[in-house]
Amino acid sequence: MSDLEELLRTDLRDAAEALPTDIDVDDLLHRGRRLRAARTRRHGLVAVAAAVVVGLAGWTGLALRTTSGVPDPAATPSIASPGSIVTFRTEAGSVPRSPYSVITATQSDGVLTLTGREQESDPGVRLASVSVNPKVATGTTISPRLSLWLIPGQIDWVDAHTTGPSSVGPYLARHGFLSASGVTVALVVAQQDQSSADWVDGVIWRATDGSLHSSAGTPVSTAVLSLSDASLTVYRDPGLKVVSFFDAMDGRGFTSTRDDLPARELVKTRLARESAGHGWEEFAVGILPPGASDPRVTTTSRGAEVATGVLQPDGAVTFVVRNRSDAEPRGSLISKVTYTDADGSTRTYRG
């Protein structure tokens, strides 16, 4: 056992003197390790247009500290109130920046109370009180820059979707689990004030069993497409009318677009991003019309990779094209896509 773990055990025992004697300190420490290890999986960028990905240094949920020098797991329950409180803190220089430096969600008697403090030393200001329903996802607009969502069960990540072209990004979603009520608290933060009163349409989340769910209650069709060194999760929600992909390669987050183009417009979203010291990376994501199959994608770059898959449960064929280059991308990554439609005829889409 390390000196740091021994110090943490001692502090936990001291903090537990006023609590019931059946609290297992070893179990608490074990859960802390698991939550800390899971921290790197819980980063997500929420975007409306596939144009620029903003770095994810920033708005993280942190537990109340008990021992100096121990990294805080993301949005964990405090020890003083097991499973009934999560605290989110704004890191210096984070983008987007929360209007509050500290936001605390506390659950008691079936009601969740959200309080905020502009500075650490300020008294808390009540932002909202909402009923907790462990069976359905519910959203509450707190302000033009802050939205609260309660999601059934424990989740790996959450992707928030905004109300259309009038919304101004970037957006960032953070979450923490309230084990006492069996719900996840998710906060969506906007960099600027939004014009719509209910500026978040809804959320899509991945449960710990890997399944995707939507606050609209509609089935989320999903496919995992494998590239040479990474996998991308492409998903479509007819309820929220969005197509998204999640890049798990380095946790850089989500890219989403409205799914309101005609079916003949195969390419749904494009993205180009620059990584310091690694050049440019460009993506294009497409979905064939219902009943179509056998996509043959011709790219404008010889080094581009193409991966295909089938969205389940709706059965639509999807494809992803990725290209890496030293120079900033210009023009379309896709020259054409040839496929077989539902009637057996050959069709060609030109990018």
- Report which listed range, 17-31, 287-301, 319-333, is most confident: 287-301
> Could you give all domains of the chain from N- to C-terminal order, each with its CATH number?
1-215 (no CATH), 223-351 (2.60.40)
Nearest residue to 146 (alpha-carbon basis) of 59, 256, 55, 260? 59
Question: Which DSSP state fits 21?
Answer: T
Enumerate residues 6+ apart whose C-beta is below 8 A from 339.
Answer: 266, 288, 292, 293, 294, 295, 296, 317, 346, 347, 349
Strands 171-178 and 155-162, by their bridges, are unpaired
Helices of type H across the chain: 3-15, 25-37
Query: Partners of 336 in the beta sheet?
Result: 298, 350
Q: In percent, how much of the chain has pLDDT > 70?
A: 71
What 3-state class would DSSP assign to 1? coil
Q: CA 132, CA 115: separation in Å to the nearest integer?
A: 16
Number of other CB atoms surrounding residue 177 within 10 Å? 23
Sheet holding 138-143, edge to edge: 45-46, 171-178, 183-190, 146-152, 138-143
Reported residue count of the chain is 351
Question: Is residue 221's pLDDT more than 50?
Answer: yes
Q: pTM to 2 decimals?
A: 0.72
Query: Partners of 85 in the beta sheet?
Result: 106
Q: CA 245, CA 151: separation in Å to the nearest integer?
A: 21
Structure tokens at 85: 């409180």
Structure tokens at 150: 């309660």
Q: Which of 32-36, 190-194, 203-207, 295-299 has the lowest mean pLDDT?
A: 32-36
Q: CA 70, CA 1: separation in Å to the nearest integer?
A: 15
pLDDT in tens, 98-133: 888 899 999 999 999 999 998 888 888 999 999 999
Residue that wins the pLDDT comparison between 29 and 111: 111
Cα of 120 vs its chain's centroid, Å: 26
Question: Which DSSP state fits 287?
Answer: E
Question: Is residue 317's pLDDT more than 90?
Answer: yes
Q: CA 207, CA 302: separation in Å to the nearest integer?
A: 38
Angle at 18 between CA 16 and CA 23, to 5 degrees: 40
Could you tell me if 158 and 205 are in contact, meaning their C-beta atoms sit under 8 angstroms apart?
yes
Q: Which of 56-65, 217-226, 238-247, 291-300 has the lowest mean pLDDT?
A: 56-65
Q: CA 167, CA 189: separation in Å to the nearest integer?
A: 12
DSSP readout, 104-166? EEEEETTEEEEEEESSTTSPPEEEEEEE--TTS-EEEEEETTEEEEEEES-EEEEEEEESSTT
What average pLDDT is seen over the chain?
A: 76
For residue 69, what pLDDT band results from cuts at 50, 70 and 90? very low
Mean pLDDT of 274-291: 88
* Predicted pLDDT of residue 292: 97
Q: For the chain, first and last CA: distance in Å?
A: 59
Residue that wins the pLDDT comparison between 7 and 47: 7
Q: CA 43, CA 215: separation in Å to the nearest integer?
A: 20
* Predicted pLDDT of residue 169: 59
